[in-house]
Structure 1
Amino acid sequence: MPETSAASGSGTTRTEESSGTPARPATAPERDAPAAASGATIRLEGLTKRYSGSTVPAVDDVSLEVKAGETVVLVGPSGCGKSTLLKMINRLIEPTSGRIRIDDEDVTGIDAVKLRRKIGYAIQSSGLFPHMTVAQNIAQVPKMAGWPKARIKARVEEMLDLVGLDPAEFQGRYPRRLSGGQQQRVGVARALAADPPVLLMDEPFGAVDPITRDHLQDELIRLQHELRKTIVFVTHDFDEAIKLGDRIAVLREQSHIAQFDTPEAILTNPADDFVSGFVGAGAALKRLNLTRVRDVEIVDFPTATVEEPVETISEMLGAGTTNEVLLLDPKQRPYKWLRRGDLTHAKGSLARAGTLVHDTVTRDATLRDALEAVLTDSGGRVAVTGRRGEYTGVVDLETLMKCVHELLDADRLEAIEHRHSLSETQAKRTYAAQEGLTS
């Protein structure tokens, strides 16, 4: 998860580190085939938590199933018991009654410490031990599990690389020397270090700024696409739930389930007024959070690097095939948009020519993130970057607006079909009533 720096617009990023030659977009099947699920099925059966002195349970008789490799998001108002429900899965809070089954094993009665070593856990503000280095934090669970030192060292480096942090640079640092986003990345690396089948996440991105939060969400989507763990994620932010969840459980008081369904089903057909309150206005636009940048056409764009002579770039622009190039820095990251007229101010140098690239999106960003970035760009396009910030292509306004119109058309068609269905139902009832009167 490359650390973000100054940027504007939701879900947009500038990265601090990248390497390698810029990749070119491949077809979606080649590029985005998900890994086989490595998670475990979780079944909660009548799970209840009562605290002494309280007349009502904090969590009351909750039953649900999370499929292997699935991300389920628990969302609900403050005090509804969603964090309590999450913590009962790894028994940080012991249930009063009910059963927890992981891959058909009843874990309600086994040793709680051993259980937690098999379940990754990430919380808000990362929860890193301040007196330990990054490497020591990540190594905690593998060390307790008795892994040999060589295997632990290799795993630490693997985990740091997985979340986009250079092992050579970060493993010796202490948490106080990390930004908020970097701390959260290390927290996720620690949670995954022992390769657990289940990952519990309790509002892990709630304490970081909105731009970093959007990028951390994108990186979690990327990691899940690669690892296919079983993730249970708690949030109070419905937009975050839409973006991350394969399914969403909307919880009332005492964690009673108001609706448990896919994000699209909840957006288009909320179960009742309580769920509608979470959906809010603009359901069609919220559905932009269901589609990723990798799902739409990412086009190539003329590029040059800052090392190339001004004369070479001038010849490229003067050839008449393009009026603009994207200038890449030495690590192949988007740096400047350079138009033909900008070269008149270059005077042999590109230092003052062109417009700095402030906004980029990753391929795992949502179309909503991309649309916000495009609308703040005078050129009506946004550069798409890879895992370490390297340029991979461009998405333009025309492509995004086509998707918006398709969503709106689908909503209109669904509304018409819904009204038609209601009309047919009413007609049948009227006919039945009339038949009853004449018989």
Structure 2
Amino acid sequence: MAETTTTAHGASIELENLTKRYPGSAQPAVDDVSMEIKAGETVVFVGPSGCGKSTTLKMINRLIEPTGGRIRIGGEDVTDIDPVKLRRKVGYAIQSAGLFPHMTVAQNIALVPRMVGWPKKRIKDRVEELLDLVGLDPGEFHGRYPRQLSGGQQQRVGVARALAADPPVLLMDEPFGAVDPITRDHLQDELIRLQHELHKTIVFVTHDFDEAIKLGDRIAVLRERSHIAQFDTPEAILTNPADDFVSGFVGAGAALKRLNLTRVRDVEMRDYPTVTVDTPLQQIFGHLRSSGTNEILLLDRRRRPYKWLRRGDLMRAKGSLARAGTLVHDTVTRDGTLRDALEAVLTDNAGRVAVTGRRGEYIGVVDMETLMNSVHELLEADRLEAMEAQHELEETRAEQTHREQEGPGGVTKA
């Protein structure tokens, strides 16, 4: 594998009175938006269709030129610099990846580094490094064309291309909107993992509030013309929406939505007994006896979950691993959310799911008991928060009543 290079971390973004007017329109598409995004932060724009969230995003790298206002990246005013140079410093990933079909995966990723004049050796190493980073084997995918990739693989290459010149800022315009729900979950987990490693400043557009909760350090809920209804942490928006418009986005079941805020890595996992496909049968039986359980997890040669094996399965299959057990259909990653885990556990007959690492390797098991305990803790936290808020409200009302009953100089009215 290529040697990892020093990575540039994120840069702050300041939008000051940013406005976009199109000729012939009575109202601006984006109206006087001001916002500060911290370096290394993931901020998600969420709002109804046509509210101007994508237009606002595209003004940051000036794919759409602002009619008015300023943009600063890392303190530098980029409103008047060459937009082509600006776009080479800002990564950009869109829905359906937007890869050039006539270029290989490597050529697509190398595009911006080649344009800014990187040496060939540095480009080659960077392509290899990024393919590895987004979970694609460089040897396998280097020479493929986009048409030879699945939708999820194309999106990974799209993210790699956006990161190729090591920009401090990454703009993502509904990048996972065109893939199936399972692939989307995995891509979201991959982005969370990448951000843990890279600390870029990410601005992400979505219409899916659950996706916003899962990915965002802060969420900007936008009304029409990109007016900011609320700009806060996911926890604050879930527990204290600013108004009815924001409440409509939160929707029902705020406590359950908070499962999107807790990662699988944050809860206790069971250390399940495991064997590999190369383990002799007698040893597997021995493991089952000594573990005190009726089930064991069979891993493949790369230590990825492969089959759930029960003692009865082995007996009925007459000792053949090929015919024994139940294939592992679903796993969750360490960076997945408790909601991902709950969905997997609810569709599993035995109420458990295997947890995997970056390469799909087995880490542990999360079961229904662990998840139910977490749900109860979240509900209890919500209940206590609501009680505290009610108590504060009653105290405020009591103080107000007391003040109203007092005349000037603190004299109680007759």
Classify the TM-score, shorter chain.
over 0.9
Question: 1: distance between equivalents of 2:49 and 2:340?
Answer: 27
Secondary structure at the residue paired with 1:438?
coil
Count, aligned residues: 405
Question: 1: distance between equivalents of 2:303 and 2:207?
Answer: 38
Question: 1: distance between equivalents of 2:355 and 2:240?
Answer: 33
Secondary structure at the residue paired with 1:135?
helix
Q: Which letter does structure 2 place at the counterpart of 1:311?
A: Q
Q: Cα deviations across residues 163-202 of structure 1 (Å, max 9, x unaligned)?
A: 0101111110110110000000000000000000000000
Change (3 A) 1:56 1:324: same
CA contact (8 A) 1:384 1:394 kept: yes
1:309 offset after TM fit, Å?
2.1
Question: 1: distance between equivalents of 2:44 and 2:290?
Answer: 53
Aligned to 2:266: 295
Aligned to 2:85: 114
Aligned to 1:153: 124
Q: Which letter does structure 1 place at the counterpart of 2:295?
A: E
Change (3 A) 1:300 1:36: farther
2:360 corresponds to which of 389, 409, 416: 389
Change (3 A) 1:357 1:425: same
Q: Which letter does structure 2 place at the counterpart of 1:70?
A: E
Aligned to 2:188: 217
Aligned to 1:98: 69
Secondary structure at the residue paired with 1:55?
coil
Aligned to 1:143: 114
Does residue 353 (structure 1) correspond to residue 324 (structure 2)? The answer is yes
2:229 corresponds to which of 255, 258, 263: 258
1:417 corresponds to which of 367, 371, 388: 388
Q: Which letter does structure 1 place at the counterpart of 2:151?
A: G
1:373 corresponds to which of 344, 359, 364: 344
Aligned to 1:189: 160
Does residue 309 (structure 1) correspond to residue 272 (structure 2)? The answer is no
Q: Cα deviations across residues 56-101 of structure 1 (Å, max 9, x unaligned)?
A: 1000000001100000000000110000000000000000010000
TM-score if structure 1 supplies the norm length? 0.90
Q: Which letter does structure 2 place at the counterpart of 1:361?
A: V
Q: What pairs with 1:204-243 in structure 2 (closer than 5 Å)?
A: 204-243=175-214
TM-score if structure 2 supplies the norm length? 0.96
Provide the aligned C-alpha RMSD in A.
1.4
Q: Using CA pairs below 8 Å that are at least 6 residues apart, which structure has the higher relative contact order? A: 1
Structure 2 unaligned blocks of 5 or more = 1-5
Secondary structure at the residue paired with 1:382?
strand
Q: Cα deviations across residues 350-407 of structure 1 (Å, max 9, x unaligned)?
A: 1221111111000000001011111222222211111111111111222111111110
Q: Cα deviations across residues 216-274 of structure 1 (Å, max 9, x unaligned)?
A: 00000000000000000000000000000000000001000000000000000000000
Q: What pairs with 1:48-63 in structure 2 (closer than 5 Å)?
A: 48-63=19-34
CA contact (8 A) 1:221 1:244 kept: yes
CA contact (8 A) 1:318 1:340 kept: no
2:15 corresponds to which of 44, 56, 62: 44
2:171 corresponds to which of 180, 200, 217: 200
Question: 2: distance between equivalents of 1:148 and 1:103?
Answer: 26
